[in-house]
Chain A
Amino acid sequence: MQRLLAFGALIILFVGFSIASPYFLTFDNVIGILLATAVNGILALGVTFVIISGGIDLSVGTVLTVSAVMTGVFITNNHWPIWLGMLGGILTGGLAGFVNGVVIAKMKIPPFIATLGMLNVTKGLALVISGLKPIYFNDTPIFRSLAMDSIIGQVIPKLDIPNAVLVLFMAAIIANLILSKTVFGRYNFAIGSNEEATRLSGVNVDAWKIGVYTLCGLFAGLAGVVIAARLNSAQPALGAGYELDAIAATVIGGTSLSGGEGSIVGTVIGAFIISTLTNGLRILSVPQELQLVVTGCIVVLAVYADILRRRRK
């Protein structure tokens, strides 16, 4: 239901912006929206898992940064093979997520505090490791083309959708399968719905929680690799604040902040709404400051719509 609502909102945004500006519905611009969605969307996938379990992860933005930086270290500084460097970047994110999970599940630190700590730790680490300078991938041009070339374009000429977008959709499909078809997904919902009852049912809640935060970290790592490839560089100061967009996308997509409810499809739509909005407002040359105001209001309204829907039931 919320998903339909969100999807409707997305269509309206598209139609509205197309009428308002002739530039909006050009191929290049739509590709731009897709690209912008890729990174935020991948981040939001992981955040969706965490929020469904009744938790929160504020560290995904800076975990993305540190993962991107580590990818740079592995590939450019250490000359690892590209695939290994990318894997290393993703696993860096996983490690950060794992630490989050342990701190939350075993040390019983509230997720808000634990991940706020991780936000600062990873922010600092990214700066220290990179020596405050971007790491470029100029020796390995293939890295960038992995994200920016288009496999689809080779099969269907003219439809040059960059691979980064493909990565988002594949990640979303995998996330959706995990969430709806596996034990992991089921326990994720169960924990978010009633943690104590889940524990009393003999489920090892702590272990699954660590798993959830690790998975979220892995997605953040993947997003870090994608953004590094897209920009052909690892920027040590980029990424802070991304977590809020990811949380917003998740919530707009109908995932309940109190846990137990949510969907991947909703989150992907939510991510598209945010990037469409940002893009459209920019095309209409709304000043950046006002763009922030508008997106902020939209997030709150989306959640309000969800609450109204629930109350009616």
Chain B
Amino acid sequence: MSEPLVLMEGIVKSFSGVHALNQCRFELQPGEIHALVGENGAGKSTMMKILSGVYSKDAGKIYFKGKEVEIPNPRAAQHLGISIIHQELNLMNHLTIAQNIFIGREPRTAKIILNDDEINRKTAELFKSMHLALDPRTKVADLTVAKQQMVEIAKSLSFNSEVLIMDEPTAALTESEIDELFNIIRQLRAKGVGIVHISHRLEELKQISDRVTVMRDGQYIDTVKTSETSIDKIISMMVGRTIYETSPELPENPSQEVVLEVKNLQQGSLLKDISFSLKKGEILGFAGLMGAGRTEVARAIFGADPYDAGEFYVKGKRVQIHSPQQAVQHGIGYLSEDRKRCGLTVGMDVKDNIVLASLKKFLNAIGWVNMAQTTLTAQKYAQSLNIKTPSLDQKVKFLSGGNQQKVVIGKWLVADTEILIFDEPTRGIDVGAKSEIYKLLNDLTRQGKSIIMISSELPEVLRMSHRVVVMCEGRITGILNAGDATQESIMKLATQRGGIISTNLIPEAGRA
């Protein structure tokens, strides 16, 4: 093998006494796509943050092209030619796309005067090469999470770096965007760039990676060639035991009682004539491409966004929902796709976040919060969701990405609402925890709760849903029964552009 582009050896890192990394190793060749996998909290992000100058290591050595280097800050990493897309979005919402992409290295006249025309032009060129239709002058705040993720990717590409680290870049993307991303990184690989790809979508490994490094509990396990290793083998290295993927249990049939009915929901040009119903004990999957309007539907139902027209019926009674508070009163909970912006109070600890949405339950007669009971409840959910945290008093912002997601889920489970809307519930969650969450969802429906599950992972939608609503460009293009839904039939409906509403084409299940 040629000299490695990057070699990290004996890396140790602890956070206030807790070991996050212990004697870790990582090696990257030029012109390879190297996948880094491991359970939530295994230390993948921490390892890459050390390589990109965000954290300093406690011990160990980093070699770049054979020479030992120190990387004390992000700037130093940029100078070496190492760029990273962080797991959490790191954008300045008030700035435009182009301003975000060129932050810190904007072209200047006389050292201080900005030239926005130039960055707009360069950004437009970049987007063209990525087949992205975005205006560089748009403010980032006005973009969806998926588009923001594409901006992050564009930003990291614009560095023309020799090392490109991507920490779960695909978590927020849909299949077609992922394909586009993979094409781009294959081209980069051909040019000799070394690429680190962190992902919990293990099916991607075979598709894209040359080698895989597995980490577990802050330890380096092994590095293997993807072509010579099976996914099952990788999973067993990740979790330290062999787990057998249980065949998906067929969801039980829900009752025919309708708990939520949405009629003719209309929101500007985003949502057109959305009508559907949700039954008691049902999981209703929402599939579609990025920008199809699924999140918008959820937010409208939850009262988080204003809508132009539409009627909501909860258990047959017409209700008004104009604020999240009203939604919660009618027994509707919403787990947002963007945990940092809407789902968590990252400065508070795990315990408080879990009970936040249902604090009322924990008040005693004089209005004090019953601490013992909150701790007990938080403990229960932290355990059943397998949240990896040194203690319940840890601030949520110090948890790994996947564990933060679990906290949000825990929060809505405690809230114990009748109707739960999950927007991308398993984004960034490892295989083991994923099946835990699936089990939990099934348990919930068995208890008579109803669930709307928005997901961009088709296998997940197919596995979990009783019925699948497919959306395209703000319309419902079809509602499929579990029996009729296949990847192909969903994709066909999801790309049915041009406004042919085909709800009539496929008879909706259970409707008289």
Task: Please classify the interface of chain B as helix (H, G, I), strand (E, B), loop, or mixed, using the class held by over half of its residues.
Answer: loop
Interface flags for B246-273 (1: CB within 8 Å of A; 0: not) read 0000000000000000000000000000
For the complex of A and B, 3 pairs with smallest distance between CB atoms: A260-B94, A197-B90, A193-B92
Least Cβ–Cβ distance between B119 and chain A, in angstroms: 10
How many angstroms between the C-alpha atoms of A192 and B92 in the bound complex?
A: 9
Least Cβ–Cβ distance between A196 and chain B, in angstroms: 7
Docked complex: A181-236 residues within 8 A CB-CB of B: 181-187, 189-190, 192-194, 196-204
Interface pair B95/A193, CB less than 8 Å apart: yes
Interface pair B54/A200, CB less than 8 Å apart: yes
Total contacting residues, chain B, CB less than 8 A:
23
Would A186 and B93 be within 8 Å (CB), given that A201-B103, A202-B78 are in contact?
no
Within 8 Å of chain A (Cβ to Cβ): is B86? yes
By a CB distance below 8 angstroms, the chain A residues around B106 are: 183, 186
How many angstroms between the C-alpha atoms of A204 and B113 in the bound complex?
A: 18
Interface pair B92/A203, CB less than 8 Å apart: no
Docked complex: B87-133 residues within 8 A CB-CB of A: 90-95, 99, 103-106, 108, 111-114
Within 8 Å of chain B (Cβ to Cβ): is A243? no
Nearest B residue to A203 by beta-carbon distance?
B104
From B75, B105, B112, B114, give the contact of A204 (CB < 8 A).
B75
How many angstroms between the C-alpha atoms of A185 and B108 in the bound complex?
A: 13
How many angstroms between the C-alpha atoms of A88 and B511 in the bound complex?
A: 82
By a CB distance below 8 angstroms, the chain B residues around A182 are: 112-114
Given contacts A196-B90, A197-B92, 6 further A-B contacts (CB under 8 A): A181-B113, A182-B113, A183-B108, A189-B92, A198-B103, A200-B86
Between A and B, 30 residue pairs with Cβ closer than 8 Å are A181-B113, A182-B113, A182-B114, A183-B106, A183-B111, A183-B112, A185-B114, A186-B95, A186-B106, A186-B114, A189-B92, A189-B95, A190-B99, A192-B94, A193-B92, A193-B94, A194-B90, A194-B92, A194-B93, A198-B92, A198-B103, A199-B74, A200-B54, A200-B74, A200-B86, A200-B90, A201-B74, A201-B90, A202-B77, A203-B104
Within 8 Å of chain B (Cβ to Cβ): is A261? yes
Residues of A in contact with B (beta carbons under 8 Å apart): 181-187, 189-190, 192-194, 196-204, 260-261
By a CB distance below 8 angstroms, the chain A residues around B92 are: 189-190, 193-194, 197-198, 260
Least Cβ–Cβ distance between A51 and chain B, in angstroms: 13
Would A203 and B113 be within 8 Å (CB), given that A196-B90, A197-B90, A197-B92 are in contact?
no
By a CB distance below 8 angstroms, the chain A residues around B114 are: 181-183, 185-186
By a CB distance below 8 angstroms, the chain B residues around A187 are: 103
Tally A-B pairs: CB < 8 A: 64
By a CB distance below 8 angstroms, the chain B residues around A190 are: 92, 95, 99, 103
By a CB distance below 8 angstroms, the chain A residues around B113 are: 181-182
Interface flags for B47-86 (1: CB within 8 Å of A; 0: not) read 0000000100000000000000000011101100000001
Interface flags for B22-48 (1: CB within 8 Å of A; 0: not) read 000000000000000000000000000
Least Cβ–Cβ distance between B237 and chain A, in angstroms: 31
Docked complex: B217-252 residues within 8 A CB-CB of A: none
Interface pair A203/B94, CB less than 8 Å apart: no
Would A186 and B86 be within 8 Å (CB), given that A194-B93, A201-B74, A261-B94 are in contact?
no
How many angstroms between the C-alpha atoms of A201 and B54 in the bound complex?
A: 10
Would A186 and B112 be within 8 Å (CB), given that A260-B93, A261-B94 are in contact?
no
Least Cβ–Cβ distance between B95 and chain A, in angstroms: 6
Least Cβ–Cβ distance between B426 and chain A, in angstroms: 25
Would A202 and B104 be within 8 Å (CB), given that A181-B114, A183-B114, A186-B114 are in contact?
yes
How many angstroms between the C-alpha atoms of A193 and B53 in the bound complex?
A: 22
Nearest A residue to B152 by beta-carbon distance?
A197
By a CB distance below 8 angstroms, the chain A residues around B112 are: 182-184
Nearest B residue to A196 by beta-carbon distance?
B90
Interface pair B103/A203, CB less than 8 Å apart: yes
